[in-house]
């Protein structure tokens, strides 16, 4: 028997986050950083060094090394779990477009802003004409 210790609902955020950059190169660098963070979280989970769910107050050695390499110094250890959630990260010219059903997205926002983006965040439930909702 599995016991759940969280609350959830069937309503998804259908959240869209668009980071607009001054040029395509900056957008590509930001997307690469996010992709590397996602990959590192996955590796840390697979290695048993990180568990998605319970709060944490420390970085894994691999993550600490990656954050130093990326020169990203604004993320808290607990926020890194967000890179383990289901999210689509795409590149559209000078924009990085992130779609997710999650509402906890501060880590994505911080990386985009830290890399120079002007960020727009909205629910595609309310703005379907924007054309970025999940399932499109």
Per domain, the residue ranges of the chain are 15-124
Average pLDDT over residues 87-94: 98
Overall residue count recorded for the chain in this entry: 136
For residue 41, what is the enclosing H or E element? helix 24-46
Output the pTM of the full model.
Answer: 0.87
How many CA within 13 A on the CB side of residue 125?
A: 8
Mean pLDDT of the chain: 90
For the segment 11-64, what is each residue's pLDDT rounded down to a tens digit? 588 999 999 999 999 999 999 999 999 999 999 999 999 999 999 999 999 999
Contacts of 74 (CB under 8 A, 6+ apart): 110, 114
Which residue is associated with the tokens 């660098």?
29
- Under 8 Å between Cβ of 77 and 59: yes
> Cα–Cα distance between 107 and 80 in angstroms, integer?
7
Can you list the positions of beta strands (E) in the chain?
15-20, 87-92, 95-100, 118-123
């Amino acid at each position: 028997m599995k016991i759940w210790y969280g609350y959830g609902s069937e309503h998804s955020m259908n959240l869209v986050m668009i980071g607009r950059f001054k040029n395509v190169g900056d957008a590509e660098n930001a997307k690469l950083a996010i992709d590397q963070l996602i990959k590192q979280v996955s590796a840390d989970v697979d290695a048993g060094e990180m568990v998605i769910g319970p709060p944490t107050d420390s970085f894994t050695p691999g993550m600490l090394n990656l954050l130093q390499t990326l020169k990203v110094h604004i993320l808290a250890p607990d926020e890194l779990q967000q890179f383990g959630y289901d999210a689509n990260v795409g590149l559209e010219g000078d924009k990085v477009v992130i779609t997710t059903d999650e509402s906890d997205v501060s880590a994505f926002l911080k990386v985009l802003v830290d890399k120079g983006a002007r960020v727009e965040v909205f629910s595609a439930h309310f703005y379907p004409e924007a054309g970025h909702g999940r399932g499109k």
